[in-house]
Amino acid sequence: MRPVTERDIRASFINCSKGEIKRLNLPKDFTDSPWEDLDFLGWRDPGAPERAYLVAERDGGLVGIALRVTSSASRGFTSRSMCSLCLTTHTSGGVALMTARRTGEAGRQGNSVGQYLCTDLACSLYVRGKKEAPGHGVIDESLTPAEKAARTQANLLTFLDKVAG
């Protein structure tokens, strides 16, 4: 994705109030993000770990989603969980259920969409082999990094549609 500014980011959120947008904390060094390796900018709120955000490019603009981290996918030592965006498998704690409030009337009625996501939201780096899941969690598959990135982007757009749908 192309580099974005704090202003771009704060203007991109579709599922939270102006007050929430004002209060959210950006990642400390986000201006140094490896933009060319990112399908989206994702981070946990440094001041509120139960909150997470992702900002993605869509149709030439930016779409930001606020997420609530509800739980770790599994507590078992040996069990593995898979991120629904990048399909990286992690051992305990590496994947969490995150919910996004839907936009519009559905959101006002309390509807949300849940997805299991990498808890560090570094999906883009996992699919490109720039970051390794602890326990060598990436499934050995025949797709190239570019193909995995394309699949991650497709999964992301589906998720954004569910939030905004």
Residues that bind Zn ion (CB under 5 A): 83, 85-86, 118, 123
Q: Which is nearer to Zn ion, 107 or 118 (CB)?
A: 118
Q: What is the distance between the alpha carbons of residues 6 and 39, in angstroms, rounded to a whole number?
A: 17
Please calculate the CA angle 155-160-165 and round it to the nearest 5 degrees: 125
The distance of closest approach from Cβ of residue 77 to Zn ion in the complex, given in angstroms and rounded to an integer, is: 21
Over its C-alpha atoms, the chain yields an Rg (Å, rounded) of: 15
Q: Which residue is nearest to Zn ion (CB)?
A: 83
Q: Are 29 and 46 in contact (CB under 8 A)?
A: no
Q: Which is nearer to Zn ion, 85 or 163 (CB)?
A: 85
CA dihedral 145, 75, 28, 50 (to 10 degrees): 120
The distance of closest approach from Cβ of residue 43 to Zn ion in the complex, given in angstroms and rounded to an integer, is: 13
The distance of closest approach from Cβ of residue 3 to Zn ion in the complex, given in angstroms and rounded to an integer, is: 22
Q: Which is nearer to Zn ion, 9 or 85 (CB)?
A: 85
